Chain A
Amino acid sequence: MALDTVKLKINGREVDAPKGSTILEAARLAGIQIPTLCYMRNLNEIGACRICVVEIKGARNNVAACAYPVSEGMEVFTNTDNIVKSRKATLELILSNHRMDCLTCLRNTNCELQKLAADFGIQHVRYSTDKTDPEIEASEMHLVRDNSKCILCRRCVAVCKKNQVVAVIGPNDRGYETHISCAFDRNLAEVPCVSDGQCMVACPTGALTEKDDTEKVWKALGDPSKHVVVGVAPSIRVTLGECFGNPIGTNVEGKMVAALYRLGFDNVFDINHTADLTIMEEGPEFLKRLEKGERLPMITSCSPAWIRFCEKFYPDFIPNLSTCKSPQQMFGAVTKTMYAKDKGIDPKDIVTVSIMPCTAKKFEIHRENQQAVDGLDDVDVALTTRELARMISRAGIMFNELPEESFNETASTAGLIFGTTGGVMEAALRTVCELATGQSPKSLDFLEVRGIGGIKEAEYDIGGKTVRCATASGLANVKKLLDMIKRGEKEYDFIEMMACPGGCVNGGGQPIQPASVRNNVDLRKERAEAIYVADKRSNMRKSHVNPFIKRLYDEYFDAPGSEKAHKALHTSYKAQPRYKLD
């Protein structure tokens, strides 16, 4: 037997487990899933909720399997009467303090607490409930917090601090009074929340949910005087299927398009096109800066939570940001300018709806300087993947039985790879290399910037110049990279920043997978894989060869960086105070 493993018994069966692993991990190797609630691998291993308790032969008390390390000869029992009794009592205690409005909760049928209560057959709670009123905080554009459904697992707190480093929420007060909130119980809008929404996808219950904007869309769809155009972000096609029981990483582009038409949208637009357009604006912007040696490194601007983070925490880097609007905003801008003109519709009568992997997009649509047509927001409603799934369900559309349909016009897959970390960088490189040298790069695969690594670095020769590139995803990595640059330890020319770990495929607006799945499957990897498969099969992998883009410039925007393009497709940023204290 290898030295780095230990032998133990779980439920009477012998198991070899790596030294240092927890009982939970060892049990998993033996094909036993111990239920958990507060546990998130590498993130929240605090043994607080006591749902994962197991018995160890000879031990005085039950132990938390998520935190207790295995040892040689240990005998573990995961499913005895005593254990089930203990877990049931714990569940009842949690439920006694939980506002049980399951039927009217956004997380109904996708709630980890609800599932545990069902699994353990809880039909009666012996302890009285005293949390009956909602405790709503909804000061931000993207989120609703209802502490009457909070179970104090602290998963949101861990994500906010460790992955996203803003740490705007934490456990306050003590004992029975403990609650998760901002400092001094201030509103989220008064503290440096950047609206990435990672807390929502970490929440096991309905305590943290997106602000549901679907009613606005239903209203527009039902109004005959409105022309409603929907744009879908690159990553949605590889995640939406999960909401309808498809395996993680299934590409459902065809069914997604079919569903959008059936919902009644007047037109369905692939935001991959405006991702291509972003590259057309950002590429020349970068080459110009590179040539002049100005405002380098240039940093991408697609991720609105990253932009908010930059404005609040690293205002020194604002001049480095690309002035390009995000693909979402460009979609709105193009629709209300060129599309309106083409169709002969007054832009006032157009409603633009975007389907986004992201909750910060709900904030972005209200940003300043995002109006290609004066007085009209580029995008009227930003929905998350989850909200779209709810619309499809409500309309009675049987998603999995839909035929495959396609967008009116196919975009390049350079736009598609925007959906994962490194994708914007790779798409830009594919175009920039050709712009600089007049020749297509030998390979369109820039493998160094792919993958789920938090920070990736690569150097490429572009027209005889070495261009130093870096990507960071997850604000903890973003912070790390910026701090290294500030200290002078690193120098780059071009940086891609994504607020969410792994980029948009793992955004705060994506389908919620329970921790039992997230602890064992890397969502970032599986979802990104589906994107790269589509890119590999594509015969249009460069933004600048997209015929739609060519037409856009020929017929409307003249040329990349033109005055017209600048007015519609670029924006500005400014430093924001971190705290809004009175």
Chain B
Amino acid sequence: MPNQKTKIPFKGTPEQEKKLREVIEKHKDGKGSTMIILQEAQGIYGYLPEEVQLIIAESMDMSLSEVYGVVSFYSQFSLNPKGEHVVAVCMGTACYVKGAGDILERIEKKLNCKAGEVTPDGKFSVDAVRCIGACGLAPVITIGDNVHGRLEADQVDGILEQYMK
């Protein structure tokens, strides 16, 4: 699933930028510094929006395209901030054979938000994740700290609606 550019406006603070610039200064000349800086930047902002990637590119004498190429290659990097409610759909083997694909599709449809993205109001983000170790509850999703197991696709709308209030 290609990582889509976020629709959420950038809300970075001067403090975050100061921190980012310190990180860049510290690692800049080291070997393999791009990965380290991107990881730390994601730690600071929670994701890697264009504004942040541009700061990294310009201060490391790289082009934005080179930075973005790395970010879009690794699934650990996110172009989207996390929503207020993080919906994680387990795609482990057990969940998958029990219909996790349908569950994900229903969630994407209900929220109008693809895996890896966040809703325009910032309320929900959706992730397709590796096995979360709750195979007995397959197919299973988590929303924030709550676990919803043994799901049927038809239950999805109702569960999500609880969080929409």
Contact = CB atoms under 8 A, between A and B. Distances in A.
Given A170-B69, A172-B69, A183 B64 contact: yes
Nearest to B67: A183
Contacts of B2: 172-173, 177
B65 A168 contact: yes
Contacts of A6: none
B50 A183 contact: yes
A305 interface: no
Contact of A184 (B1, B5, B62, B63): B5
B154 to A, nearest CB: 31
Interface string A154-197: 00000001000011111111100100001111000001100000
Given A167-B63, A183-B53, A581-B50, A174 B68 contact: no
A184 B68 contact: yes
Nearest to B51: A581
Interface in A535-582: 579, 581
B54 interface: yes
A170 B65 contact: yes
A168 B63 contact: yes
Residue among B54, B66, B67, B72 facing the most chain A CB atoms (10 A cut-off): B72
A172 B68 contact: yes
Contact of B69 (A166, A171, A191, A581): A171
Nearest to A166: B63
Contacts of A184: 5, 50, 64, 68, 79
Contacts of B65: 167-170, 182-183, 191
B64 A579 contact: yes
A173 B5 CA distance: 12
Contacts of A192: 63
A177 B54 CA distance: 23
Contacts of B62: 167
Contacts of A170: 63, 65-66, 68-69
Nearest to B54: A579
Contacts of A581: 50, 54
Interface string B55-80: 00000001111111100111100010
B68 A183 contact: yes
Task: Bin chain A's interface residue count.
Answer: 10 to 19
A135 to B, nearest CB: 13
A184 B72 CA distance: 9
B39 interface: no
Size bracket, chain B contacts: 20 to 34
Nearest to A182: B65
A167 B79 CA distance: 21
B72 A172 contact: yes
Interface string B31-53: 00000000000000000001001
Contacts of A167: 62-63, 65-66
Question: Interface SS of chain A: helix, strand, loop or mixed?
Answer: loop
A113 B67 CA distance: 30
Nearest to A185: B5
A171 B69 CA distance: 6
Nearest to B53: A183
Nearest to B1: A177
Nearest to A582: B50
Given A183-B50, A183-B53, A579-B54, A173 B3 contact: yes
Contacts of A579: 54, 64
Q: Most chain-B CB neighbours within 10 Å: which of A168, A170, A185?
A: A170
A334 to B, nearest CB: 39
The winner among A166, A167, A168 for most chain B CB atoms within 10 A is: A167
Contacts of A168: 63, 65
A174 B1 CA distance: 9
A191 B53 CA distance: 14
A168 B3 CA distance: 19
Contacts of A171: 69, 73
A170 B63 CA distance: 10
B119 to A, nearest CB: 20
Contacts of B67: 183
Contact of B72 (A166, A173, A191): A173
A527 B120 CA distance: 56
A581 B79 CA distance: 16
A194 to B, nearest CB: 12
Nearest to B50: A184
A581 B54 CA distance: 10
Interface in A191-206: 191-192
A561 B10 CA distance: 51
A475 to B, nearest CB: 12
A21 to B, nearest CB: 29
A168 B65 CA distance: 6
Residue from A170, A177, A184 with most neighbouring chain B CB atoms (10 Å): A184
A171 B66 CA distance: 9
Nearest to A184: B5
Contacts of B1: 177
A333 B82 CA distance: 57
Contacts of A185: 5
Q: Which of A171, A174, A183, A185: most chain B CB closer than 10 A?
A: A183
Contacts of A161: 63, 66
A411 to B, nearest CB: 40
A581 B52 CA distance: 13
Interface of B: 1-3, 5, 50, 53-54, 62-69, 72-75, 79
12 contacts: A161-B66, A169-B65, A170-B63, A170-B69, A171-B69, A171-B73, A172-B69, A173-B72, A183-B50, A183-B65, A183-B67, A183-B68
In the A-B complex, list the 7 residue pairs whose CB atoms are closest, starting with the nearest: A183-B68, A167-B63, A170-B69, A183-B64, A170-B65, A183-B65, A173-B2
Given A172-B2, A173-B72, 18 more contacts: A161-B63, A166-B63, A167-B65, A168-B65, A169-B65, A170-B66, A170-B68, A170-B69, A171-B69, A171-B73, A172-B73, A177-B2, A183-B53, A183-B63, A183-B64, A183-B69, A191-B64, A191-B65
Interface of A: 161, 166-174, 177, 182-185, 191-192, 579, 581
